[in-house]
Amino acid sequence: MPVRRILSPETGKQVRQSEKCGGEMDRDFSGLKMIGIAKWLLVVIAVVVIIMQSVSGRSSNTSITMMRDKVTEAADLTKMQEGDNQMIRRLYGLDVSQYEGIVLYYPVTNMGAEELLLVKMNDKSQQEEVRAAIEKRLETQKKSFAGYGVDQTAMLEKSVIDIRGNYAFFGSAEDPEALHKAFEKAY
């Protein structure tokens, strides 16, 4: 059946007209093409989201000792000291015995805002508890320096929290991204 293309008087778009039907079956196919493209785009986006969730949800086999070594290589520890179990409980409210391992470096002085926390959780069910503890500590620090500790507040504002799989990372430093990149690499 012969088909010719003409311009639609209503839309100005090119349409097909069947000579057999005398033009009664005019159709605008550009809308159908857009729907097909939109469907494929949604499929691609869904696949990317699934891949990202599976990667971020996977657990790491890196030991807490190895993680500490790799991350602290990127850290300036001159303004921090290593925290013991009692300090971890005091600052974060976390019971070290409930986790595979926790490493804390906290400020040497009360005027410091540099901090590094690494938590290796037993499983992903502990993620929310750890996230809440980190966020509470961060808010406490921000309130402590509000109004007078401009540099400390700026440092806390650019701090990084990353909860992925069986690990949690919190870094507050002059360059928290360097610490975070070391964490990501070791993960």
Most confident range (mean pLDDT) of 4-18, 52-66, 156-170 is 156-170
Are 68 and 109 part of one and the same domain?
Answer: yes
Mean pLDDT, the chain, whole residue set: 86
Residue 175 has pLDDT above 90, yes or no: yes
pTM of structure: 0.70
The predicted pLDDT at position 108 comes to 96
Q: How confident is the model at residue 26 (pLDDT cuts 50, 70, 90)?
A: very low
* Residue 150 confidence (pLDDT): 94
Write out pLDDT tens, residues 90-139: 999 999 999 999 999 999 999 999 999 999 999 999 999 999 999 999 99
- Structurally, the chain folds into a number of domains equal to 2
Q: Give the number of C-alpha atoms closer than 13 A to the C-alpha of residue 98, restricted to the C-beta side.
A: 11
Q: Domain containing 162: what range?
A: 64-186
User: Are 111 and 37 members of one domain?
Assistant: no
User: Residues 37-92: pLDDT tens digits?
Assistant: 777 777 777 666 666 555 556 889 999 999 999 999 999 999 999 999 999 999 99
- Best CA proximity match to 131, nearest among 158, 164, 104, 87: 164
Q: pLDDT band at residue 23, thresholds of 50, 70 and 90?
A: very low
Are 182 and 139 within one domain? yes
What's the confidence (pLDDT) of residue 45? 76
The torsion angles phi and psi of 22, rounded to 5 degrees, stand at 65, 25
Beta strands in the chain (DSSP E): 3-7, 14-18, 80-82, 101-107, 115-120, 160-164, 167-172
Residue 79 and residue 164 share a domain: yes
Strand partners, 161: 170
